[in-house]
Amino acid sequence: MGTQRTLGRRGPESLTYEIPPSMAYVVVVEVTRERTRVSIVNFVGTLIADMRCPPVTSRRRSRVVVDKTVRLATDAAVDIQRIRHAVVGVEMAETTCDVAALCESMRTRLACSVVLDSVANLAAVAERDALAAAGVRDFALMWIADEAKVAIIADGRLFRGPSGRVGWRDLLQVPAAAGSQVSACFVDEIATYAVTLARTLDLDRIVLAGTVPEGAVAALAQGLQDRIAAIGALDIPPVSVQTTPNPVLAGASCVGLAAVRELVLYDALNNPNTAVER
C-alpha cells in the first residue's frame, strides 16, 4: 500500500492512502449442475482471469477445481497470498458434500475466508445496484433454472429471513422449454406466486433471471405480465428481465470486495508500518 503526504484542511501532515489494484483479490466460483466457473477480480473489481471447469460432482473434482484456480492465478501473475476472500455461488437448493469440500479445500489451499451463497441472492445483489439509480429499493428476483427460486431485496438490502434460507429454496420445478417456448401452466404458477409476493411485500419490481435461454426468460416475462393483467391485478409492479451481464459474478464480486476492502483498510490502520510512503 502506498501513502502520500499532502497539504490539506486537516493539517500539513495529513496522509492520503493510495491502494493499488493488485493489493488484494477475490475469487468467485459459480457452481451449477452443468459446469463450474472460476473468476478472479482485483481490488477495484476488474476481472483478471476467468475459466470454466466441469461440474463439481465429487470431492476429488472439488480438489481439481481448486488446483485449476491456483494455476489460473499463477498464469495471470496473481500473488496467491493476496487472495483474501472467495465467494462460492451455488445453483442447487441444498449444499452437497462436494460443494462443502470445495469450500474447505479453497479455504485451506488459498488461506483465505470463503463464503457460500445461492446464485439467486448474488444475482439480486447485482440487480440492486443496477436498479438503485431508478429509485427501486424493494424487488423480488426470480431465478429460473432447473427449479425456480426467489431472492428478496427489501429497502435496498438482501433479505435472508430468520433461517437464512431465503434465496435457497426451490419454489417449483421448471418444465423443459424448446427455445423460447414457455409452458402456460408454468406461467400461471409463477404469476400466482408473483402476485402474492408483490402484494404481501409491497414490491416496486419483479425481475426475472436465470440460466435458461435468454429467449425463454423474455417470453416468460411477457407471459407473466399478460397473465397478471388478465386476472386484473392492477396493483402489481412491472416485470422486467435482468440486464446486468454475468449477474452472479457481478453480485459475488460486490459481496467479496466489500469484505476485502474492510480487511485491507483494517490492516492499513492497525499496521501502519506496512504502508510505504511515496
Quote the pLDDT of residue 234.
Answer: 64
Domain check: are 134 and 225 in the same one? yes
**Could you list the residue range(s) of the whole structural domain that residue 41 is in?**
22-111+246-277
139 and 230 part of one domain: yes
223 with 127, same domain: the answer is: yes
Q: 89-135, pLDDT tens digit by residue?
A: 998 866 667 889 999 999 999 999 999 999 999 999 999 988 886 78
Does residue 215 share a domain with residue 270? no
211 and 153, same structural domain? Answer: yes
Are residues 30 and 85 located together in one domain of the fold? yes
Residue 175 domain-assigned (yes or no): yes
pLDDT score for 177:
61
167-206: b or e for each residue (b if 16 or more CB lie within 10 Å)?
A: bbbbbeebeebeeeebeeebbebbbebbbebbeeeebbbb
Q: Pairing relation of β-strands 157-159 and 172-173?
A: unpaired
pLDDT at residue number 192: 86
DSSP secondary structure code for residue 223 in this structure? H
- For residues 125 and 98, membership in a common domain is answered with no
Supply the pLDDT for residue 110: 96
pLDDT of residue 278: 32
d(CA 36, CA 54): 6
Record the pTM: 0.87
10 Å CB burial of residue 248 (0-12, 13-18, 19+) is: buried
C-alpha cell at 230: 388478465
165 SS3 class:
coil
Listed as ranges, residues in the chain with pLDDT below 70 are 1-18, 93-96, 133, 177-180, 233-234, 272-278
8, part of any domain: no
218 with 164, same domain: the answer is yes
Looking at the domain assignment, is residue 15 inside a domain?
A: no
Q: Based on the domain organization, do 151 and 256 belong to the same domain?
A: no
Torsions phi, psi of 253, nearest 5? -60, -40
Instruction: State whether 75 and 159 are in the same domain.
Output: no
Whether 138 and 231 map to the same domain: the answer is yes
pLDDT at 209: 92
Is residue 195 included in any domain, yes or no?
A: yes
At residue 4, the pLDDT reads 46
In the numeric block, which cell numbers belong to residue 74?
499463477
Same domain, 143 and 214: yes
Cα separation, 141 vs 224, in Å, equals 14
User: Which pLDDT score is estimated for 179?
Assistant: 56
Count up the domains in the chain and report the number.
Answer: 2
Which amino acid is located at 163 in the chain? S
CATH number at residue 204: 3.30.420.40
